Amino acid sequence: MLARQRQRVILSMLETQPSLRTIELARHFDVTDETIRRDLEFLDAENKLIRTHGGALRIEKCAVDMPLQKRLKENRAAKQEIAKKAVTLIKEGETIFLDASSTVLTLAEILPDMEITVITNAHDCVVPLMNQSKINLIATGGKLDRFSHSYGGMMAWTMLRKFSIDKAFFSCNGIDIERGASEVAESHAEFKENVLPLCSERILLCDSTKFGIRSTRFFADMTIIDRVITDSNADPLFLSKVADGGKLVS
């Protein structure tokens, strides 16, 4: 079989399964592992799959944003698992930023009443923290996005520049190991792109359904992201790539 024929078959296999392993493909085509690696590298360069350590992932595309309350209900158990991991990273005396994502809202819902400062551009993050008297709660203000219940624009991120932020907890619509985190909405991507460099540590909370997805607008590559927290259903190939970079929180 010619290389291009083999590559077309690999792409057709990825239409029915999210990931493939090099060793299994070599066995399937009766070729060497090195031959398959060259095929995967070629297809990755053509932006037709995502090359990972030991195999490849299907490229997904997220082009439609959803209202916050609908997103909050999706993959609820996974978001709760992620939030429980994330809360262990927060220490007394820290200043943290919470973005306006459903996964980060799940973290806000379980934050204990402790001596920290929370800065957020998320209207819905304010509500569960309202009665936590020890938490110094600061809302950014700014232009209200009624769809996401968030504040954005220059007014919001300029306000954040006034603070020394220890940790940013944020999410995305998709995460690609080569290109980084992306959003559907340009305004949300631009806001995070401006805010994240202001924070000492940037922690991505991302459920496993977003792995391998390249959304419309990238805002943070993997060099910007310090840690990744996901759920136990994440694809092992993707996890191994993140772990290789020393960014995975288990």
pLDDT tens digits for 33-82? 999 999 999 988 887 887 877 888 877 655 445 444 555 556 789 999 99
State the pTM of this model: 0.73
User: What number of other Cβ atoms are within 10 A of residue 227's Cβ?
Assistant: 19
Tokens read off for 121: 């551009």
Asked whether residue 172 carries a pLDDT value surpassing 50, the answer given is yes
pLDDT at 214: 81
Q: What is the DSSP letter of 25?
A: H
pLDDT at 242: 84
Q: What is the pLDDT of residues 98-128, one digit of tens each?
A: 999 999 999 999 999 999 999 999 999 999 9
Instruction: Output the pLDDT for position 146.
Output: 86
* Average of per-residue pLDDT values in the chain: 88
Q: What is the largest CA-CA distance in the chain?
A: 68
User: Residue 73: what pLDDT?
Assistant: 54
- Tell me the domains of the chain and their CATH numbers: 3-57 (1.10.10.10), 68-249 (3.40.50.1360)
More confident residue, 149 or 203: 203
> Tell me, what's the pLDDT at 187?
87
Distance, CA of 249 to chain centre? 13
Least confident of 30-34, 146-150, 226-230: 146-150
For the chain, percent of residues with pLDDT exceeding 70 = 93
- The Cβ-side half-sphere exposure at 84, using a 13 Å CA radius, reads 9
In percent, how much of the chain has pLDDT > 90? 56
SS3 content of the chain, % helix, strand, coil (to 5): 40, 25, 35
> Given this model, what pLDDT does residue 52 score?
78
Q: Say what the pLDDT of residue 91 is.
A: 97
Q: Distance (Å, rounded) from C-alpha 27 to C-alpha 192?
A: 44
Of 75 and 6, more confident: 6
